[in-house]
Amino acid sequence: MTQTFTTSRRTLLLGGGALALGACSSGEADAAQAQYANSPFRRITDAQWRERLPASSYNVLRHEATERPYTSPLNDEHRAGTFVCRGCELPLFRSATKYDSGTGWPSFYDVIDGAVATKQDFAIGIPRTEYHCARCLGHQGHIFNDGPRPTGKRYCNNGVALTFQPA
């Protein structure tokens, strides 16, 4: 009985610690965040999304597909400006935070505050942190801890999930 209580208490404490750390993450938003919870983009049906978006963007944004690496013209986009969600045009990244990660996908070391929400993804059998647009919930990519300073993060984004707006 003591072993069960100790294990349960340890699990509770570790889980609470993980929740506390998650709450301290910078730049990430809860998908139910008040400022976007009533967004009209959340009421668009799957059929309407299919009509609004090119097929590749629809598959990534609405069904969490991944585009092939080195296929996005945004890999070579180096002008000043903003990268926005292709689904709802919410600004997600400033061009100053873009860098060449060598992965074949547009990568950024920081996100505009409150622009993305995260969740755990087990699609390939290992836990990863998926991020999506906080306003329309469109899948963007995954966050990795191998990026440059100052954040050490790599927001590895599907190019078809973004558009670029020059400054």
CA dihedral sign of residues 159, 41, 109, 155: negative
Neighbouring C-beta atoms of residue 80, cutoff 10 Å: 9
Catalytic-role residue among 88, 133, 136, 156 = 156
- For residues 144 and 2, give the distance between their C-alpha atoms in angstroms, rounded to a whole number: 39
Q: Is the preceding omega at residue 69 within 30 degrees of 0, hence cis?
A: no
- For residues 30 and 139, give the distance between their C-alpha atoms in angstroms, rounded to a whole number: 14
74 DSSP 8-state letter:
G
24 is catalytic: no
Q: Which residues of 25-56 are buried (b: 16+ CB within 10 A; e: fewer)?
A: eebbbebeeeebeebebeebeeeebeeebeeb
* Catalytic residue annotation: 156
